[in-house]
Every structure is written in structure tokens, then in C-alpha cells.
Amino acid sequence: MWFVTLHALRPCMKNVLRRQNTWLFSALVVAALSGTAILAFRAFRMPLLSFRGTPRPLSTEEADIRGRLTKHVHVLSVEIGERNLNHFAELQAASAYIERRLREFGYDVTEHPYVVAGRQVRNLEAIVPGVRAGESVVVGAHYDSVIGTPGANDNASGVAAVLEIARLLRDTHPDRTLRFVFFVNEEPPYFQTPDMGSFVYARRLREAGVKVRGMLSIETIGSYYDAPGTQQYPAGIGSLFPDTGNFLGFVGNLESRRLLQDAIEAFRRIAELPSEGMAAPASIPGVGWSDQWAFWEHGYPAIMVTDTAPFRYPHYHTMQDTPDKLDFMRLTHAVIGCGKWLMNFAGSSVA
């Protein structure tokens, strides 16, 4: 009897199951879309509004910063030129130039040597000790250039920026220790390998138990254009951002979202330069394309500031990457904005 009853109910049960499956499928679709929407909201929503309008003329002090930035880029990319293991003497000359400037600013410079392909290379570090021990903020840029290029924008512009920020913050008294670091061997064939300078440095910090509250990688930040159509993006996200390449980009992985939002909010409060930000999976092309990647690999929050390099700069990784292609006024505004954010983030006060 029970079999006959179940057999009679079978069509009804199928309809119920079909409706349940349809509901379940719909629920899963809604959940997936909601999850995607939440992810996109978290990835692309940034605080405050980007700067719009014409920046004021540089003050005398800011004009001095511009002159220093211009000098650093010229020395590294013109007087020294291509600098990597294939041009080892020039790589050493770039390292020596950075060390001299840091010592002129009053820093004690620590070198962190290691051996790659039978040659000894080095990262350079200058520190402003924190009032309260235990937490650090790392600011870094790589000083090597890719094979076949003088590397004015990539990455003499980033090195110049870190040098000037280090000079501006030398006499501050931060709560968190400020570590200004110049990395070797960011470019291929060492990119995203254990021989990458930032990977060696981040591993050293992790092994020493150093607590890094945030790392800022300054990468290729001298190229800006005002014409529409000058900005490109990885596939799938171009509609979310402007197509004019006149802004400074803030980029991080999802785990570094809070650091990124803090940085861009502070930058937008004080800088006279447009800015855009994105916290997204590191698998998206460009998101992990610099020294911040090495810090993610060691569990540290880290972000990159950039002009987006190959997505904007037509001379990226070519012999035409020379100083005359750079916009030093807007590079100056980028440096001033990043420097002031770092003061706030590290809890610095001027002596």
C-alpha cells in the first residue's frame, strides 16, 4: 500500500523537487551575483572624490622638490643609464648615488647584500626610528632598469620620489618606524622570484619578526596625459575608470584594501593631482607588477602607487624611456601627497 501511495505521489514530488531545484538555482545565482557585487563594491569604492581642476603654481619649496626630482632622474637614467646585472658597473653606480644622497640627508645607510648569478648585489635601507617600538612602515622603489632601457620612468621616477620623501621626513618623529628601502633586481629575469630584491628584504623582515603595518611601493609615476583615450586597462575593468591618463593610481590586493583606502583618502584631502584606486585580486594583470607583491608573499599589507606603466606610458620598457617624456610638475604633486600621507600614517610630527 505504501508503495502504491508513493507511486501515486511521484509526479507531485517531481514537481516539488523541480520547483525546489529552480529556487535553489535562482538562489545560487543571486548569491553569486551578490557576492560579485560586494567584491566589486569593496574593490572599487574609494573614499572622497578625486581632485579636479587646475593645480596652483608650485611654491618655492615645491619648485625645489621638482628640481631635485629632475636631477635624480637625470643622473640615474642619463649619466648612469641602463643598470642591471648585464650592466653591473652602472647598477653599482646607481646604488652608490642613492647611498650618497641618503648620507647627505643625514641618514645612516644599511646595506643588505646577497649574491645573484655569482655577483653581490644589495638593497639599501635608511630608517627614521619610531617613538614607539614594534611597528614599521616601509616605503620602497627598485633602482634597476629592464634590459635595453635607461629607465627614466621605470623606475628612476620612483627612486627619485623615495629619495625626496626620505629627505622631507628626515626630521620627523614618527610613532611607527619609517623604513626607506631601495631594491635591486625587480626587473626580469628576477621579477617575482626569490632573487628579487624586495622578496629578499621582505623575507628578512619576516624572519626577524618585524611587524609591518603597511608597505608603499613607488613604481613608474612620471607619465601623465590630458587627452581622452590615453589610459588603458586590463580587460573587463576599463568601464569603471576614466580613459584620460592624468591620475595617480593606487593599487593593492584585497587583503590590503584598508591600507589602500586610508592612503587614497589622505592623498585626496591634500594633493592637487587626480587619483584612482583599486583593491583587487592579484591575478588581474598589473595588480602585482612591482615590489608590493613580495610583501604580500610574506603576509604584509602593501600597495603600489603608479601611473599604470604599460597601460598608459607608450615608452615603457623601451630605449625611449628618457627624462624628456616625464611630467615633473605632476610628479612633484604626487611626491608631496604621498609624503604627507606617510606622515599621517606613521604618526609623525616635525621636530
Q: How far is CA 281 from CA 40, 71, 257, in A?
A: 11, 37, 11
Nearest to 63 by CA among 268, 333, 247, 274: 333
- Give the C-alpha separation, 331 to 237, whole Å: 25
52-346: CATH topology is: Aminopeptidase (3.40.630)
**What pLDDT, on the 0 to 100 scale, is given for residue 24?**
47
DSSP labels, 144-206 = ---TT---IIIIIIHHHHHHHHHHHTTTB--SSEEEEEEES--STTSTTSTTSHHHHHHHHHH
**What pLDDT, on the 0 to 100 scale, is given for residue 132?**
81
| Count of helix runs (H) and strand runs (E) in the chain | 8, 8
Strands 136-142 and 177-183: parallel
Q: How far is CA 81 from CA 90, 124, 132, 148, in A?
A: 7, 19, 41, 10
Nearest to 123 by CA among 141, 100, 104, 137: 141
Q: How far is CA 94 from CA 12, 68, 80, 182, in A?
A: 79, 16, 7, 10
Torsion angle of the four alpha carbons 46, 47, 53, 57, in this order, in degrees rounded to the nearest 10: -110
Please give the distance of CA 166 from its chain centroid, rounded to a whole number: 17
CB 261 within 8 A of CB 46: yes
Q: How far is CA 122 from CA 66, 110, 197, 277, 306, in A?
A: 28, 10, 8, 32, 24
Q: Which helix H or strand E contains 121, and what residues bound it?
A: strand 119-128
Q: Is the dihedral of CA 148, 153, 154, 159 positive or negative?
A: positive
Residue 216 phi, psi dihedral angles, 5° rounding: -115, 115
The Cβ of residue 7 has, within 10 Å, a number of other Cβ atoms equal to 9
**What pLDDT, on the 0 to 100 scale, is given for residue 40?**
52
Nearest to 46 by CA among 233, 331, 216, 251: 251
CB 171 within 8 A of CB 351: yes
All 3 cell numbers of residue 200?
A: 629578499
**DSSP type of residue 311:** G
Nearest to 64 by CA among 168, 201, 197: 168
Per-residue pLDDT of the chain (351 residues; tens, 9 = 90+): 333 333 444 444 444 444 445 444 444 443 444 444 445 545 567 999 999 998 899 999 999 999 999 999 999 999 999 999 999 999 999 999 999 999 999 999 999 999 999 999 999 999 999 998 789 999 999 999 999 999 999 999 999 999 999 999 999 999 999 999 999 999 999 999 999 999 999 999 999 999 999 999 999 999 999 999 999 999 989 999 999 999 999 999 999 999 999 999 999 999 999 999 999 999 999 999 999 999 999 999 999 999 999 999 999 999 999 999 999 999 999 999 999 999 999 997 765
**What pLDDT, on the 0 to 100 scale, is given for residue 16?**
42
